[in-house]
Structure 1
Amino acid sequence: MPIAHPKYRAAAVQAAPAFLDLDAGITKAIALIAEAAGQGAKLIAFPETWLPGYPWYIWLDSPAWGMQFVQRFHDNSLVYGSPQAERLEAAAREHAITVVMGHSEKDGGSLYMGQWIIGPDGATIARRRKLKPTHVERTVFGEGDGSDLSVHDTPLGRMGALCCWEHLQPLSKYAMYAQNEQVHIAAWPSFSLYRGGAYALGAEVNNAASRIYAVEGGCFVLAPCATVSPEMVQQLCGDDAMKRQLLLEGGGFTGIYAPDGQLISTPLPEGQEGLVYADLDLGMISLAKAAADPAGHYSRPDVTRLLLDKTPGNRVVLRQRAAEVVEPDATDEIAANARQEVA
């Protein structure tokens, strides 16, 4: 009998965040989740740090200038187990849809660039952190560890996720390919920064990275990409003409790619908010990998191999030695009695 490969509709978000307002961002996310489910989608993917928005201020001026945003960014980052997190879990459960949320994760006093995969029952499938924040992102966010390079079994296929320029890290990508990834979420923050002055940050290069990931990995790639709203520009730039040249409105270039590299979603204009959709047939993967499987038959492990250490990098490891209890034997009792007699 032929194997029934999963077939379903997927959605990727192209929208501005409710910048520095976690509660409003959760409300907006729930509306997009409901919209996607209403269109028959079984999976929805959100951009990088969409909650509470990407911290563009780190690219616009000195760290001292950016300090004005730090407390608010911390206060509006997502804490797992919080009422805001529970609202997302409830939305996934209510609409029976798998949600992949990009967010700033607050854990104690530190922040991490998180991606949270929530199943259609509202239960957590996976939580991951960006392995190495890019450039000035390292002034805000901590690092992930090897356990964050993982692919997970779901009813929608073997699913994994990376953020932004993790898609320029050859060994990280290869680690994901080698785990037989079938559906990948490539989360991007917006391609509106330094436009015209830094080609590598633009849409052409980064959309190409998502497309190449699909071809190399022989997998479907959802590449959600946020937009920058006029309100965000006003918050971040004010009337500063130079800053307004560095951070432009728009920058949304969301797409969904097939395992052969085709763009299978209909693009939205870069400043328009909405969802892009595509119908995924995981049976296509075998056709792509029959031609080239770089972590399988198209590899040469006798020449090049990857060492992947997935040990969690816990900052604090508690070790408590149990008290040793030694039962006295007959010899101990005789010696004790002898001491008493001598006394």
Structure 2
Amino acid sequence: MAPAKTVRVAAAQLAPDLHSCKGTLAKVLNAIDEAAGKGVELIVFPETFVPYYPYFSFVLPPVASGKEHMRLYEEAVVVPGPVTALVAERARAANMVVVLGVTERDHGSLYNAQLVFDADGQLVLKRRKITPTFHERMIWGQGDAAGLKVAKTAVGKVGALACWEHYNPLARYALMAQHEEIHCSQFPGSLVGPIFAEQIEVTIRHHALESGCFVVNATGWLDDAQIAAIEPQEKLQAALRDGCLTAIVSPEGVYLAEPLRSGEGIVVADLDMSLITKRKRMMDSVGHYARPELLSLAINSKPGQCRHAMSKMPGDVEDRPTFMAEGKEHEFLGELETASNN
């Protein structure tokens, strides 16, 4: 029998540069180099790590957040663009799969995006957080299910979700049904307080057990000076502390390395991929344990669009006599339906 495949993975807990996309990007590239020196084949960074998570939106009222929101626009990442080109180059040089969270700028809107670069540097997945959470809805637009996919990479089938998307069981099931092997989860860290870390622990261990896959989870970190810079009022600074749990979990719900709960660092572990079959032998949620004739999931995988091409536009003057002539109403409605389906 051939030996079981082993994959070495890493989860990075780092503090962003809250003033510069370039500063945070430098930390990403350095972390990739450091992980490469340890033989890492896949690395996961925190939620919207580049340029930085919008911590300001959690503590500032909307009327006072305009300046910081505008600055985030200026530092946000265009995909593809210079930032993705540099990350792709470093991933290729390190022969490493890189999962990076960014605030993406698409013209006049920002999105919480997750990028998966394969070991050859190709961007094999870009997805947007389906529904930003609470304060985040003032910052990011809504994503769609076009990116709710598992990417085939050099280390296996990789899926990704951000933060409280893990509380959307149908989003998780969409990835499970595609037989993800390594689930990459990202949280902001340094938020809410200790209870947030406790919730993360429950969430990632449950997903590992339910999906029968490995989970590599990365959270961010803020030091005291950064917290004070975001929120000078000491009584509100507790909202930007703790909430960190960078960890790697097996399909049996077991930590494969000591989780990192404070400070900067990189958690590294080896994944014995045979554990996936060992877990699913007992309970395969999308296989012998599923009952698709009773319960199933429907996914609209079309990208969200604000413009749809139509063969004939309602309201065109030259079309009115033809479309709206007596007995032609059904023909008009039928053409609209056909166009919208295309």
The amino acid of 1:7's aligned partner reads T
Cα separation, 1, equivalents of 2:167 and 2:283:
20
Q: Residue 236 of structure 2: which of 243, 251, 256 is its match?
A: 243
Q: Are the counterparts in 2 of residues 164 and 188 from structure 1 also a CA contact under 8 Å?
A: yes
TM-aligned CA distance change 1:195 to 1:252, over 3 Å: closer
Could you tell me how far apart the structure 2 residues matched to 1:92 and 1:318 are? 38
Amino acid at match of 2:179: N
Q: Which moved more, 1:222-231 or 1:256-265?
A: 222-231
CA distance in 1, matches of 2:275, 2:292: 26
Output aligned runs, 1:51-62, within 5 Å.
51-62=50-61
1:193 to 181, 184, 191: 191
Alignment of 1:278-289 (within 5 A): 278-289=269-280
Q: How far off its partner does 1:174 sit?
A: 1.1
Q: Of the candidates 296, 301, 304, which is equivalent to residue 313 of structure 1?
A: 304
Post-superposition Cα deviations, 1:5-54, rounded to whole Å, max 9, x if no partner, equal 53221000111111241011111100000000110001000010111111
Aligned amino acid, residue 29 of structure 1: V
Q: Which amino acid aligns with 1:193?
A: L
**1:210–1:223 contact (8 Å) kept in structure 2:** yes
Matched, 1:214 2:208: yes
Instruction: Look up the equivalent residue of 1:302 and give its one-letter code.
Output: E
TM alignment of 1:319-338, pairs within 5 A: none
Q: What is aligned with 2:8?
A: 9
What is the total number of aligned residue pairs between the two structures? 312
Q: Deviation of residue 320 (structure 1)?
A: 7.0
Residues 100-109 or 3-12, more deviating: 3-12
Deviation at 1:144, TM superposition (A): 1.2
Structure 1: gaps of 5 or more residues: 322-343
Query: Structure 2 CA distance, aligned partners of 1:132 and 1:5?
Result: 38
Cα distance in 2 for partners of 1:319, 1:58 equals 40
- In the TM superposition, what are the counterparts of 1:1-343 in structure 2 within 5 Å? 2=1, 5-190=4-189, 192-195=190-193, 199=195, 202-238=196-232, 240-248=233-241, 250-268=242-260, 270-318=261-309
Name which one, 1 or 2, has greater alpha-carbon Rg: 1
Question: Counterparts of 1:18 and 1:3 in 2: how far apart (Å)?
Answer: 45
Distance 2:56 2:152 in 1: 37
Cα separation, 2, equivalents of 1:107 and 1:48: 18
Which runs of 4 or more aligned residues in structure 1 lie more than 3 Å from their structure 2 counterparts after TM superposition?
Answer: 2-6, 317-321
2:102–2:114 CA contact under 8 A, matched in 1: yes
Residue 159 to residue 45, structure 1, CA distance change in 2 (3 Å)? same
Contact 2:150–2:159 (Cα < 8 Å) also in 1: yes
Contact between 1:48 and 1:103, CA under 8 Å: does it hold in 2?
yes
8 Å contact kept, 2:192–2:243: no
Secondary structure of 1:224's counterpart equals strand
The aligned amino acid for 1:54 is Y
Cα distance between partner residues in 2 of 1:305 and 1:84: 39
